[in-house]
Amino acid sequence: MAVSYLLSNVTWSFVNGTTVGNTVYLNAGDTINVTYTFSGTPSLALGDYILLPDGQKATLVSTTNGKYLFSYIVPSNSTPVYIHSVQLASTTIYDGAGVPVQGINYSNIPYSSPAQFYDVNNEAPTVMSVSASRANVGPAQTLTLTLNFSEPVKYNEPVRFDRFIRHAELPTLTFNNGATATLDPTKSTATTLVFDYTVGSNQNTSDLTIVSVNGLTDLSGDPVTYPLPNSGETGVQVACFMPGTLIRTPDGERAVESLAIGDLVLTAEGEAKPVLWIGRQTVSRVFADPLRVLPIRIIAGALDENLPVRDLLVSPDHALLVDGVLIQAGALVNGTTIRREEDVPTVYTYYHVELADHALLLAEGVPAETFVDAVDRMGFDNWDEHLALYPQGLAVEELPLPRAKSHRQVPMAIRGRLAGRTTVAAA
């Protein structure tokens, strides 16, 4: 009769890394250790491995008294990866050929990790969003700004001298009028920083923009600059629908904000597919680049006969299928039938729909893309909801269609056809 060894416990530990709350942030060269404890001593070979939640291999490096240590060293060439605080991909041990090791009883083992891990990979942080407490704040009033970063940032803690605190070392934001906002450490976390700005006399915030950030570093100690790499002026990357946009479903048209996880929507091919997630992204006009966040209004009939059926409002980066090409709405602007919409609130919310794959919904009758991984979910207000629902992550590959991101990339034939509709649609 074959011997079966009972796996009785799984523990985790880390070499280096920075702990913030319930999260351990790991740089290249840091190590995740997972220790298996057995009721006996199964015959395992160095190089056997287990799988971490996102598929990374932790290999067996030592065995001592029934304890088997598997290690994963964050490689220097890795891209930022979340290994979420849930569990191993499985407790199964694989040999060097990828075959599960036999003779081990894995039943009833708590193999959850105690924390999240994030491979920072020495890349500069990116601002995912900038929001303001309110707009057009007047003299002597306080404006609160919240910056959400893609990874933790560090700053010098205020130095206390008896009853006095020296605030000079706290990070600041510098505005285009030369004024500064100071970090409020009591409201901030490692990835979300809150700054307060008291408006001076004869000032308001209607045309205020951030020009620099001071006193922040990444976990490697490198200064954080502003604008940040790959983040645009404010880090806002928006590819969504405005509220009120009607999405076609098997039961008729539904406003995008009324959709929920599990609801069925119709694709341009007529398939009914369930919604996996509705992303919400709040935008403040006060500090955002208008070219990136103001919605694009496509008036009824601007794209084709009765397309859209009603005026369609989407973000500039949201792609629509026009004559076989995915064209981002901002690239279609002509100033008449397709234009930037300035009549929006100071703070408003975009909605995005995620399906199991990158597909085309019918928004006001127009084929419009669903979520694709080109947009980071961390930029959404409720990205933690996605994290809880899909801890292993969801990979969404882009449709194999040509994409035009700027006006010059739009084929001349499409430009000419749409130009011919400007008088028809505007009539």
The DSSP secondary structure of 339-362, one letter per residue, reads EE---S-SEEEEEEEE-SS--EEE
Q: Given this model, what pLDDT does residue 167 score?
A: 44
Average per-residue pLDDT for the chain: 78
**97 pLDDT above the threshold of 60:** yes
Confidence band of 250 (pLDDT split at 50, 70, 90) = very high
| End-to-end C-alpha distance for the chain, whole angstroms | 85
Report d(CA 99, CA 3) in Å as an integer.
18
In 3-state terms, what secondary structure has residue 59? strand
Instruction: Extract the tokens encoding 195.
Output: 């700054």
Starting at the edge strand found earlier in the chain, the sheet holding 82-83 runs 18-20, 23-26, 116-119, 82-83
Per-residue pLDDT at 54: 60
Residue 296: is its pLDDT beyond 60?
A: yes
pLDDT of residue 211: 78
Q: What is the pLDDT at residue 105?
A: 76
Q: Is the pLDDT of residue 412 over 70?
A: yes
Q: Greater confidence, 320 or 227?
A: 320
How does DSSP classify residue 150? S
Give dist(CA 366, CA 312) in Å, integer. 9
CA-to-CA separations, 314 to 43, 185, 234, in angstroms, rounded: 59, 36, 19
Contact by Cβ (8 Å): 216, 171: yes
pLDDT at position 246 over 90: yes
Q: For residues 130-147, give the mean pLDDT.
A: 73
Q: How confident is the model at residue 289 (pLDDT cuts 50, 70, 90)?
A: low
Nearest to 403 by CA among 323, 328, 306, 294: 328
Instruction: Give residue-wise pLDDT tens across range 78-93.
Output: 544 444 443 555 678 8
Q: Mean pLDDT, to the nearest integer, of 207-234?
A: 64
The H or E element that residue 161 is part of is strand 159-161
**What average pLDDT does the segment 333-347 reach?**
88
- Does pLDDT of 272 surpass 90? yes
Q: Mean pLDDT throughout 214-233?
A: 62
Lowest mean pLDDT among 24-38, 115-129, 290-304, 376-390: 115-129
| pLDDT value, residue 8 | 79
pLDDT of residue 85: 41
Reading the block at residue 27, the tokens are 């740089």
pLDDT over 80 (residue 393): no
- Report the pLDDT value the prediction gives residue 254, as an integer from 0 to 100: 96
User: CA–CA separation, 1 vs 228, rounded Å?
Assistant: 63
Banded pLDDT at 157 (limits 50, 70, 90): low
Asked whether 414 and 327 are in contact (CB, 8 A), the reply is yes
Using pLDDT thresholds of 50, 70 and 90, give the confidence band for residue 11: confident
pLDDT over 90 (residue 31): no
Helix and strand counts by DSSP (H, E) for the chain? 4, 32
C-alpha 108/C-alpha 105 separation (Å) is 9
What CA–CA distances, in Å, run from 121 to 27, 34, 155, 296, 306?
5, 21, 19, 36, 49
Provide the percentage of residues in the chain whose pLDDT is more than 70: 72
State yes or no: pLDDT of 135 exceeds 70.
no
Of 297 and 167, which is predicted with more confidence?
Answer: 297
Weakest-pLDDT range from 85-94, 162-171, 322-331, 393-402: 162-171
d(CA 321, CA 213): 39
What's the whole-number mean pLDDT along residues 320-332? 93
d(CA 219, CA 122): 8
Average pLDDT rounded to a whole number, residues 51-61 = 80
Q: What is the band of 230 on the pLDDT scale with cuts at 50, 70, 90?
A: very low
- pLDDT value, residue 136: 57
Q: What is the pLDDT of residue 25?
A: 67
Does 164 have pLDDT greater than 50? no
Given this model, what pLDDT does residue 295 score? 92
Burial per residue of 95-130, b for 16 or more beta-carbon CB atoms within 10 angstroms, e otherwise = eeeeeeeeebebeebebebebbbbbbbebbbbbbbb
Percentage of the chain beyond pLDDT 90 is 27
The tens digit of pLDDT for each residue in 341-369 reads 988 887 888 999 999 999 999 999 999 99
**DSSP-assigned letter for residue 158:** P
Peptide bond into 295 cis (omega under 30): no
